[in-house]
Amino acid sequence: MNYLVLSTTGLATAQRLQRELGGVIHAYSKRVQDSDTRPFDNVGAALGDLFNSGKPLVALCAAGIIIRHLAPHLTGKNTDAPVIALAEDGTAIVPLLGGHHGGNVLARNIGDILNLAPAITTASDTIFDVALDEPPQGCRLANPGDVKSFVAAMRDGAVVAVAGEADWLTSSNIPQVDTGADTGADTGTLRITITDEPMAGDEQHLIYHRQNLALGVGCERRAGGGEVIALISHTLEEANLSPLSLAGLYSLNLKEDEAALHEAAAHFDIPARFFDLATLQAQEDYLPNPSDIVKAEVGVAGVAEAAALAVGGQLVVEKQKSKRSTCAISRSDAIIDAEAHGQARGHLSIVGIGPGRADWRTGAAEAAIRHADIIVGYSLYLELIADLVNDKDCRAYNLGEEETRVAAAIELAASGKNVALVSSGDAGVFAMGALAHELLDRDDAPVHWDRISLELSPGISAMQAAAMRVGAPLGHDFCAISLSDLLTPREVILKRVVAAASADFVIAFYNPVSKRRRDLLGIARDLLLRHRPEDTPVVLARNLGRADENVTAMPLSQLQVDDVDMLTLVMIGSSETRARKRGDGTWSVYTPRGYAAKGTELGTELSKEEQA
């Protein structure tokens, strides 16, 4: 969620909401200076960008400003992100867009915090105190396209006959007739039916499906997703059950990394959940179709039936089989809370958060952190993402605890959690990414570790941030070398320094010094001076993207180790790199690619290659 504020009054209101609801505040830089907000200087562009991000937007300004700027961006009521206009002093809340896609709910939440009733203007909400196209959790509407006409007919005075169980409808202001089992098809009334049977519905008849069916599924290794989906669809059809009544897909935890099961769960828009062997074994006495072969293979006499039964309820469809998969269905009286049974497939995001600044993070990295249940990282990095973390479960580690930290993150993920392991810069550059893969790859790695899903989100590495601060020193071939000798022998490091020096690469030195090791940088400088002129530009970039960022440049011969600390990236130019101070005092350090040769024969060849 995002907030947009234009004034300090708006900022105070947004901060009040942010404390309860989380989210990021974007502030108009001409009027608001606050280091915890993201600045913007063009109101229209900022509104458009935030709206197009698809996240809910609370804009603390006049509704007119929002309407004028967002008009060109609107696509349709089913796709537009929720937008709420909020008076700067918090005295009026108007959900403007996406009311039935979270906008009204969000407006009510804001209303609760500000102690104020939101101005809800969507028809069904105000008159009948219920959003028919947004049924509560555990209930799915079969024919959303018919709601508009249905509500229009209600507004014209038609009454509704409700068949089936739905407290949320009976307690609403919908004008209802009580027709018992006869749903009043002949009485000219509108109808709402709550059922787990498949039904078509129409403009006079809305169909809701309660999610009270648990689907148990088993399959052979690498069975096809298409086969599993076809088996489930066929089984539902034969049993006259609606796929919308499925609450979750359940299986044995050995199958957590079985792509076909995840494909099927996604197809039916339900979570995939997994039980441990003991839980399924506890159902063995109740299986109508136990199998010795399955027992010998996985340790329980049937996965599909046992998994369906483990959720509770009665088995309504016994084991059905296709060539390589099985399924069974149980029905509970109540709506099933899918996530209360079994565990999800564990998920580990390995996330690079960039050097420090919020606006130097990638969208994918932010999303991974937002979606995570638990964030694991070095304490300093957790501070750098405080704006994203809110009240999430954070596990902070100290420097030097890398292996413990990564193993803990993997183990948490393997227990079914969504975990983000954060590194600064890019997680794959001298960071935790490689260690995570190495631990998973070890011969003695616990088998359940390899069932987690892995997602990698790129980050801006210190080398890129340093380059960007001074110009374009990486404009031609470059390499990166870590001077840390904790895990790499010094001879190897120095061999690479010499090789890079003689090959005339621009060199980014990571970990240039540590508390214990201060000599290698001086040795590297002296080696480099044998291959490069004394005035080769060097960039020292300290604390990039953080409060006390400091970037300077100097000739190689003047590089002093005492000017460098652990939070510095040292970049050495090649023999071609140039450095000059611009009129305003800023640095322009760059390594030309040779475009200046353009126009000559070589230049023409070069641009042809470039275009290829």
**What residues line the site for ligand SAH (CB under 6 A)?**
355-356, 423-426, 429-431, 461-462, 510-512, 541-546, 566-569
CB of 466 to ligand SAH, least distance (A): 7
CB of 538 to ligand SAH, least distance (A): 14
Token digits of residue 221: 């290794």
The letter for the amino acid at 39 is P
How is residue 600 annotated by DSSP?
Answer: B
CB of 477 to ligand SAH, least distance (A): 19
The letter for the amino acid at 578 is R
CB of 542 to ligand SAH, least distance (A): 6
Distance separating alpha carbons of residues 87 and 581, to the nearest angstrom:
47
**Nearer residue to ligand SAH within complex by CB, 3 or 430:** 430
**Nearer residue to ligand SAH within complex by CB, 74 or 566:** 566
Length of the chain in terms of residues written: 612
Backbone angles phi, psi at 440, to 5 degrees: -65, -25
CB of 567 to ligand SAH, least distance (A): 5
**Nearer residue to ligand SAH within complex by CB, 453 or 543:** 543
**Nearer residue to ligand SAH within complex by CB, 114 or 463:** 463
The arrangement of strands across the sheet holding 478-482 comes to 478-482, 506-510, 568-572, 537-542, 550-555
**Nearer residue to ligand SAH within complex by CB, 270 or 463:** 463
For residue 186, the tally of other CB atoms under 10 A from its CB is 8
Distance separating alpha carbons of residues 137 and 62, to the nearest angstrom:
33
Nearest Cα neighbor of 554 from 526, 506, 587 is 587
CB of 499 to ligand SAH, least distance (A): 20
CB of 355 to ligand SAH, least distance (A): 3
CB of 517 to ligand SAH, least distance (A): 11
Backbone angles phi, psi at 183, to 5 degrees: -85, 20
Helix and strand counts by DSSP (H, E) for the chain: 21, 29
CB of 530 to ligand SAH, least distance (A): 24
**Nearer residue to ligand SAH within complex by CB, 133 or 485:** 485
User: Residue 533 in contact with residue 435, Cβ under 8 Å?
Assistant: no
CB of 585 to ligand SAH, least distance (A): 21
Radius of gyration of the chain (CA): 31
Nearest Cα neighbor of 494 from 462, 518, 526, 516 is 526
Distance separating alpha carbons of residues 520 and 516, to the nearest angstrom:
11
Nearest Cα neighbor of 196 from 167, 171, 159, 166 is 166
Which residue of the chain is nearest ligand SAH when measured via CB? 425
CB of 438 to ligand SAH, least distance (A): 16
Task: For 298-321, give the DSSP string.
Answer: HSSS-HHHHHHHHTSSEEEEEEEE
- Three-state secondary-structure class, residue 321: strand
**Nearer residue to ligand SAH within complex by CB, 471 or 512:** 512
Query: With DSSP H G I counted as helix, E B as strand and the rest as coil, what are the percentages for the chain, rounded to 5?
Result: 40, 25, 40
**Nearer residue to ligand SAH within complex by CB, 212 or 423:** 423
CB of 30 to ligand SAH, least distance (A): 28
User: Residue 326 in contact with residue 320, Cβ under 8 Å?
Assistant: yes
Helices (H), 205-250: 225-238
**Nearer residue to ligand SAH within complex by CB, 314 or 550:** 550
**Nearer residue to ligand SAH within complex by CB, 250 or 510:** 510
Q: Which residue has the tokens 């390995």?
A: 350
- In sequence order, what are the beta bridge partners of 580? 588
**Nearer residue to ligand SAH within complex by CB, 317 or 385:** 385
Count CA within 13 A, CB hemisphere, residue 333: 0
**Nearer residue to ligand SAH within complex by CB, 568 or 577:** 568
Q: What is the 3-state secondary structure (H, E, C) of 43-62?
A: HHHHHHHHHHCCCCEEEECC
CB of 441 to ligand SAH, least distance (A): 20
**Nearer residue to ligand SAH within complex by CB, 244 or 538:** 538
CA distances from 149 to 74, 156, 204, 247 (A): 23, 10, 8, 29
